[in-house]
Amino acid sequence: MSVLINKDSRIIVQGFTGTEGTFHAGQMIEYGSNVVGGVTPGKGGQTHLDRPVFNSVSDAVKKAQANVSIIFVPPAFAADAIMEATDAGIELIVCITEGIPTKDMINVKEYLKGKKSRLIGPNCPGVMTAGECKVGIMPAFIFSKGTIGIVSKSGTLTYEAVDQLTKAGLGQTTAIGIGGDPIIGTTTKEAVELLMADPETEGIIMIGEIGGGMEAEAARWIKEHGTKPVVGFIAGQTAPKGRRMGHAGAIVGGKDDTAAAKMQIMRECGIHVVESPADLGVTMLKALGR
């Protein structure tokens, strides 16, 4: 089984004919993802990568029954692209775009309230269900189908976790890269809840970083409601206070934002915390009793 996406997902690409959209749509198609078309205003009626191009997301929904959209649109227009997909009734919106102004994302977050659309990202690597569907920029060759779910703020560390799991003989169900911006659609806790409810996911890898309180929120939920082993890692253990490190959201603003504080909370909540991402696979094996 999987969460969010599967082989039957009907995917469109917003920014389809651009350089990034073209490259990654091609990779998704090659993996076997069901890409049913793309959106580039003014180019409707054309074909690209042997798929139809639509002028709007609503056209893609009406004509191709799209229910998932991935966004490769420049930062200045990405918020509008998210809201357009929401208005068209797209169930899952994955926004890869980096550098969207925080003010724009505040408006998007408010706009999404009460809507049926779920947003992953922005500034994220996307979602990958091993052996079935790729909606994003994750390198597919490191994935193997199995029973471990992954939630991560970091794209690179998502790939490291997958590689460690695969080398340990543990395949994956779904990997969710939630993004590292200060304001994102789906939180760590919400992603963990999805995987915890999936009957085929046996264990969860949770990767966070300095800044914000999402990991602590997720850890406390896991303590109260968790039914599966969770292995956690926090990036930024040597980061200085007050300096942004990598992601826009990775800045220590208070004592609870540090890696050490988050790791302590996670341990207190029963999560198997590792000091290095190199230990994710072997620690998950132990947590599963293997």
Active site residues: 247
Q: Is the dihedral of CA 219, 223, 224, 230 positive or negative?
A: positive
Whether 178 and 188 have beta carbons less than 8 Å apart is answered as yes
Whether 57 and 11 have beta carbons less than 8 Å apart is answered as no
Measured between alpha carbons, how far is residue 201 from residues 133, 148, 173 in Å?
Answer: 16, 5, 6
- Round to whole Å and give the CA distance between 188 and 211: 13
Whether 69 and 11 have beta carbons less than 8 Å apart is answered as yes
**Cα separation of the two ends of the chain:** 22
Query: Contacts for 79-82 with beta carbons within 8 Å, 24 or more apart?
Result: 79/104, 79/105, 79/107, 79/108, 81/14, 81/15, 82/108, 82/119, 82/122
Strands (E) located in 50-182:
51-54, 68-71, 92-95, 118-120, 126-129, 133-136, 145-152, 172-177
Cα–Cα nearest to 262, from 196, 174, 164, 188: 188
Side by side, the strands of the sheet bearing 133-136 are: 133-136, 126-129, 172-177, 145-152, 203-209, 230-235, 272-273
**What is the DSSP pairing of strand 51-54 with strand 47-48?**
antiparallel
